[in-house]
Chains A and B, each alone.
Chain A
C-alpha cells in the first residue's frame, strides 16, 4: 500500500494523528494557560506532564456513562457522535502536505462549511434531548451563534476563493505558491475568518453556548463519561480544524523554506494559531450574548461584504 492522497494508509495515519493531536491539546492548553497565569500546570504525570492525557483518558473511560432517565435516549447518544464525525470528515479535504491528504475535492471549501453547519445539529440535539434548562439555553445560544457566524465565515473566505479561482483547498495552497500568502491581500478576510472560526468552534471568548458561570456547561451539562469526552475532544478537533483552515487559506499551507519538510511547516503554522486561540482564552473575557450577536450582524457582516466587494472590483480591474 502506498502513501498517497486517498490511500487507506494515509487515511489511517491522518485520522490517528488528528485524534492524537486533539487529545494532546488538552495537555497543551492546560500548560500554556498556566504559563500565562504564572502557574506550572500539570507536570506530574510523566515527563513535563505529557502522560496527563493518558491519565485523563483512563479516568474518562472508566467513569460511569450515565444517560439521564428523562433524556431522549436516541438523540442523546447520537449528538456526540455527530460532532466527532462531522469534524473528522472536515479533515478529509485538508491538504496537509504535497501527497498527504484524504480527498482532493473540487468543493473542499464548501464541504468544510457544510460540515460546520451540520455540527450545529449536534449541539442542538444534545441540548434538546437532555431535557435540562441549562442544556436548552446552551443549545439555543449555540444554534443562533453558529448559524449567524457561519454566514460571514463563508463570505470572508470568498475573497480567497475569488483570488485563487478555485474551491479546491490544495489548489488554493498552490495558488499561494505563485501569488504569495493570501493573508496580505485578504487581511480583513483573515481577521473575520479568525473571529468567526473561534465562534464556530465555540472557544473562549465566544464560548457562550457552554459558559460555565452562566449556564453550567451549556448543551453538554447532562453528559458524562466518554460521551462528554467526545464533546470535549470534538471541541479540540474543531480547534485544530480552524487552525489548519487558516493555515491553508491564508498562510500558504505547507509552503515554507525548503530546509524543513512541508508537513513540518503546516504543523508549525497550525500550532501557532492553536497557541493564539489558547492565548485568547487566557486573555479576553466573554462578551454578553446580545453583544456577540450585534457584533456579528452589525459589524462583521458589513465588513466582510465590503471586503468581498473590493476584492471583486480589484480582480475585475486588473484582469
Chain B
C-alpha cells in the first residue's frame, strides 16, 4: 500500500505536472488557409511537364513514366515533328488516381516530368481531375535549369547531325582503315 501511495505521488502527479506545463508551450499547429506551410522543394505534389532551356518540350514520349506508374494514371501517345524530334501527341494524367509516388519522375530519362510542392488540387467535378498536356506543360525548366536532352543525346534531329552533341565524339567511319 505504501508503494502504491509512493507511485501515485511520484508517477501520476509528476505526469499531471508535465502535461500541465505544456500550457506555456507554443502550439505546433499551422493555421493552413490563413498561414501557408513551408513546402520543401522536393515535396511530391502536382505533376508538371517542363521545357528545356530553349523552350521546347522536354518530353520525348518514351512511355517510361506510364510504365513505371503503379496506378496507371498516365496515358500518352508518341508523335514526331518534321525535324525528327519526338514529342507526345497527347499526355494525360488522371489525378484522381495519382498517388504522388514520384516513380514517373524517377523513370523519366529527360527530366521532363517533375513533381512540384503544390498540393492544392481539390476539384468539385471528378472529370476536372484529368489533366491534359496543355494543363501539365509549364513555360520553364522546373528543377533542372540547364538540361537539354537533344543537346547531349546522340539522336540526329534537324539542325544537329550525328557527332555534334555535347561531349559526343564524331562517329567512327567503319569503312576506313585509318586510325
A265 CA to B1 CA in the complex, in Å?
37
Q: Is the Cβ of B28 less than 8 Å from the Cβ of A283?
A: no
Instruction: Give the CA-CA distance A84 to B136 in the complex, in Å.
Output: 59
A→B interface (CB under 8 Å): 34-40, 279-280, 282-284, 299
B20 A38 Cβ-Cβ under 8 A: no
Are B27 and A283 touching (Cβ within 8 A)?
no
Task: Give me 4 other A-B pairs in contact (C-beta within 8 A), A38-B27, A39-B29, A279-B19 excluded.
Answer: A36-B20, A39-B28, A40-B27, A299-B1
Q: Which A residues are in CB contact (< 8 Å) with B18? A: 283
Q: Is residue B15 contacting chain A, with contact meaning CB distance below 8 A?
A: yes
Q: Tell me the bound Cα distance from A92 to B26 in angstroms.
A: 42
Q: What residues of A have a CB within 8 angstroms of the CB of B26 in the complex?
A: 38
Q: Which of B18-66 contact A (CB under 8 A)?
A: 18-20, 22-23, 25-29, 31
- B23 and A283 contact, CB distance less than 8 A: no
CB <8 Å contact, B31 and A40: yes
User: B31 and A35: CB pair below 8 A?
Assistant: no
Is B77 part of the binding interface, using a Cβ–Cβ cutoff of 8 Å? no
B79 in the interface, Cβ–Cβ < 8 Å?
no
A283 and B25 contact, Cβ closer than 8 Å, known pairs A40-B31, A299-B1, A299-B4: no
> How many positions in chain B have a CB within 8 Å of any CB in the partner chain?
16
Say yes or no: B20 contacts A279, CB within 8 Å.
yes
Chain A residues positioned under 8 Å from B28 (CB to CB): 38-39
Query: Do A37 and B22 touch across chains, with their CB atoms under 8 A apart?
Result: yes
Whether the pair A280, B29 counts as a contact (CB closer than 8 A) is no
B170 within 8 A of A: no
Contact (Cβ within 8 A) B16 A35:
no
Interchain CB contact (< 8 A) of B19 among A39, A40, A283: A283
Given A279-B20, A299-B1, A299-B4, A35–B27 Cβ distance below 8 Å?
yes
B139 sits at the interface (CB 8 A): no
A35:B19 contact, CB within 8 angstroms: no
Assess the A40–B22 pair: CB atoms within 8 A. Answer: no
28 A-B pairs within 8 Å (CB atoms) are namely: A35-B22, A35-B23, A35-B27, A36-B19, A36-B23, A37-B22, A38-B22, A38-B25, A38-B26, A38-B28, A38-B29, A39-B27, A39-B28, A40-B29, A40-B31, A279-B16, A279-B19, A279-B20, A280-B16, A282-B19, A283-B16, A283-B18, A283-B19, A283-B20, A284-B12, A284-B15, A299-B1, A299-B4
Q: Which residues of A contact B29 (CB under 8 A)?
A: 38-40
For B30, the closest partner residue in chain A by CB is A40
| Docked CA distance A34–B26 (Å) | 11
B4, B22, B31 pick with most chain A CB within 10 angstroms: B22
Contact A34 B16 (CB under 8 A): no
Q: Which residue from chain A places its CB closest to the CB of B18 in the assembled complex?
A: A283
B13 and chain A: residue at smallest CB distance: A283
Q: How far is the CA of A201 from the CA of B174 in the complex (A)?
A: 93
Task: Look across to chain B and name the residue whose beta carbon is closest to the beta carbon of A35.
Answer: B23
CB-contact partner of B16 in A38, A39, A40, A284, under 8 A: A284
Q: From B15, which residue of chain A is reached at the shortest CB distance? A: A283
Q: Which residue of A lies closest to B20 (CB)?
A: A279
A residues less than 8 Å from B1 (CB atoms):
299
Complex CA–CA separation, A35 to B23 (angstroms): 6
For the complex, give the distance between the alpha carbons of A284 and B16 in Å: 7
Least distance between B10 CB and chain A CB atoms (Å):
14
Question: Are B15 and A36 interface neighbours, CB within 8 A?
Answer: no
Please report the C-alpha to C-alpha distance between residue A37 and residue B29 in the assembled complex, in whole angstroms.
Answer: 10
Across the interface, name the chain B residue whose C-beta is closest to A33.
B19
Docked complex Cα distance between A279 and B12 (Å): 12
Q: Given A279-B20, A299-B1 in contact, is the A34-B27 Cβ separation under 8 Å? A: yes
Closest chain-B Cβ to A292's Cβ sits at a distance in Å of: 14
Give the CA-CA distance A283 to B13 in the complex, in Å.
Answer: 10
